[in-house]
């Protein structure tokens, strides 16, 4: 039971972190938004569930 609660907290924390960077993108200078999106793309591609979902599309 405790592990499930820790996972939910971690998931919520990641969502808040992602939203922070998403809202910060308009004020970023230079190539930072592109670098941020490239890193996000690599992170998403590393997850098997994402690959399975995108393969179905």
Q: What is this structure's pTM?
A: 0.53
pLDDT (average), residues 14-19: 76
How far CA 7 is from CA of 11, 24, 34, in Å, comes to 6, 26, 29
Residue 24 CA to its chain's centroid (Å):
14
Q: Report the pLDDT averaged over residues 3-15.
A: 58
Phi and psi for 31 in degrees, rounded to 5?
Answer: -95, 10
Range of the domain at 32: 2-56
The H or E element containing residue 40 is helix 32-45
What is the number of domains present in the chain?
1
Of 8 and 45, the one with more pLDDT: 45
């Amino acid at each position: 039971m405790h592990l499930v609660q820790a996972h939910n907290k971690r998931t919520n924390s990641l969502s808040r972190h992602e939203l922070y960077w998403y809202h910060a993108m308009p004020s970023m200078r230079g190539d930072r938004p592109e670098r941020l999106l490239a890193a996000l793309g690599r992170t998403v591609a590393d997850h098997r569930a994402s690959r399975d979902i995108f393969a179905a599309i």
